[in-house]
Chain A
Amino acid sequence: MSHEELTVRAVAPDALARVIGDAPHDTFTVTDANRRSLSERLGAVATDRHRRIDAWLVERGGRPATPFSWSPTAARRILGNGALRRLARSRAVTLRDAARDEIDDLLSRAATGHQRAGSLGAWLANRHPAELALVHAGAVDWAGSLADVAASLAADWTVASADAYYDVERARTTLRARRDLVIGRGDAVVRVRGGVPRSSAGPGLRADLAAATFADPEGRAPRRYVGVWPDAGVILAVDGTDANVRAGARDLVRAAIVVSCPGDRLAA
């Protein structure tokens, strides 16, 4: 079974619309047996705490990330997506104001004690106005890029309210699928990333596809999962086929194995 990805240079303004428009109509649907199988495989991988597996971990071959800390770069996607969501609800606001409102909302919640320690709101509450302005600029930049991606689509889109999560039964594992724009009723999903796609970008996209498919209540795969790298002018897409979902699930399990046995990567 092949699981090829489609790579497209953004050589025309309608390149993304064509990638989505050309998506195959038949997609894979995961069954209860598939869910049980995933649960057994991940359940067999020992862990002493609840773990979260995502495309980022797959792309790094299971190597642990440096400890997370908030920064303007880390905050830009959450705030930028929120700003574009606001803008889509009300054309009366500008992107700049919408991003500012996102920050102000989090600051208000932090001021009233509704933000836990380590959250974005708590981090923002301790920032100097100049640092907040930089966070604001980062959010506007991200939202602007996402708005340009959305404007190039021919179909209806919404900004994803959150990433997709799937708690794997009896495996102390949550799978996460990163998503930024949802096309139609989940017919296609667009994920935007900064920088340049690496050679592991395809497996990463398939991992997102698999996690999103398992997270769907009906187990239906999106017709196409599309990665957009605006900085590089590159679009990468994988179809919601049986082969791609299975390959993505296998990579998620492999990443879990590497995480559980960091000294024995070859075993993965």
Chain B
Amino acid sequence: MTLTTTTPAGSILEVLRGERAARPPRDSESATGLRAILEDGLGEVSNRFTRTSPLVITAANVVRHADAIDIARAPIGRLRGALVAQFVRLIAVGHRSDNAFGDALRAWCVDQSSLELRGILDDLDADGRARLATEVSAHAATLTRALATVPATWSVRTALRSRLPLTGGAIVLSDVVDLVIGSSTESTASTVLVDVTTSPIGSSAERLLRFHALVHTLRTSVAPWRVAMFSTATGELVSDDVDVTLLGAAVDDVLAVARR
């Protein structure tokens, strides 16, 4: 895993995309084998679940035991993360903002926001709301500086959701990736998955990123080229090239969660 301790000059996306000529051929072979291993492994435990009441495995399940204390999971941290995630969506399409908190809040409210988090927002007093606004603005400023301007010619998707039924729907892999650059239809590996976190990057990052890579591979049948995590708290960026070893480790992570 590559660790960059400070935000690189210019766009982190430029760094992640690299030189087109240096990209390997796309891997459209691994998905079938990975799915078969998963289905076989999950078959042992799938009888405990049904299609109407499936076991849903998310990134949070996979990383939970790696970080005993995760400040981002606290309610206010989740609210902050939700607002910054909305801000990612806005700047990905070239939106220029001089009020990051206000814009993120408007976008979040119009976009079927979580009732639980809405309740937390409504319960904040004036000081708490001001603190949240300051925090979100600071994270948004780090993000804007790092992403710079996303070229309009790039294929960019935001908040990409996956919900993959396995073992006849008794087990579901569920995931959301903040930013996906590139398309799986190109002849070279070209998709980069970026997770944006408002926490410092912890020991669970590797596990989280390979879960993203596995789910995306099963979703599209093509392995992504790279996975990355950017922390708006510290400006750190970690990235990893996706290969069969990484995807195999992700399969082991999922099987471990299902057997718990």
Contact = CB atoms under 8 A, between A and B. Distances in A.
Interface of A: 9-13, 15, 71-73, 94-97, 99-100, 127-131, 133-134, 136-137, 140-141, 144-145, 147-148, 151-152, 194-196, 199, 230-234
B142 interface: no
A128 B93 CA distance: 15
Contacts of B148: none
A72 B156 contact: no
Given A128-B106, A129-B103, A134-B86, 19 more contacts: A10-B219, A11-B32, A15-B221, A72-B111, A94-B153, A130-B90, A130-B107, A131-B106, A133-B95, A134-B90, A137-B90, A140-B93, A144-B155, A147-B155, A148-B183, A196-B169, A199-B51, A232-B162, A232-B164
A73 B110 CA distance: 10
B121 interface: no
A219 B226 CA distance: 49
A162 B164 CA distance: 29
Contacts of B153: 94
A72 B110 contact: yes
Contacts of A100: 93
A196 B166 CA distance: 12
Interface string B168-193: 01001000000000011100000000
Contacts of B222: 13
A115 to B, nearest CB: 19
B203 interface: no
Nearest to A151: B185
A10 B221 contact: yes
Contact of B111 (A128, A134, A145): A134
Contact of A129 (B31, B51, B95, B155): B95
21 contacts: A11-B221, A12-B28, A12-B221, A13-B185, A13-B221, A72-B110, A72-B111, A73-B111, A97-B152, A99-B93, A128-B106, A129-B95, A130-B102, A134-B89, A140-B93, A140-B157, A144-B155, A199-B51, A231-B162, A232-B162, A233-B219
B114 to A, nearest CB: 14
Nearest to B32: A11
Contacts of B162: 231-233
A94 B155 CA distance: 9
Contacts of A137: 89-90, 92-93, 158
A136 B93 CA distance: 7
Contacts of A233: 162, 164, 218-221
Interface string B71-98: 0000000000000001001101111010
A231 B111 contact: no
Contacts of A134: 86, 89-90, 107, 110-111
A128 B107 CA distance: 9
Given A140-B157, A231-B161, A232-B163, A130 B97 contact: yes
Interface of B: 28, 31-32, 35, 51, 86, 89-90, 92-95, 97, 102-104, 106-107, 110-112, 152-153, 155-165, 169, 172, 183-185, 218-222
A154 to B, nearest CB: 13
Contacts of A152: 185
A95 B155 contact: yes
Nearest to B86: A134
Contact of A141 (B31, B107, B157): B157
Contact of B219 (A130, A147, A231): A231
B186 to A, nearest CB: 9
B160 to A, nearest CB: 7
B109 to A, nearest CB: 9
Nearest to B29: A12
Contacts of A194: 161
A195 B28 CA distance: 23
A136 B97 CA distance: 15
Nearest to A149: B185
A96 B220 contact: no
B35 A11 contact: yes
B103 A130 contact: yes
Contact of A130 (B95, B160, B163): B95
Contacts of B158: 137, 141
B180 to A, nearest CB: 8
Nearest to B90: A133
A173 to B, nearest CB: 31
B106 A9 contact: no
Nearest to A233: B219
B37 to A, nearest CB: 13
A195 B163 CA distance: 7
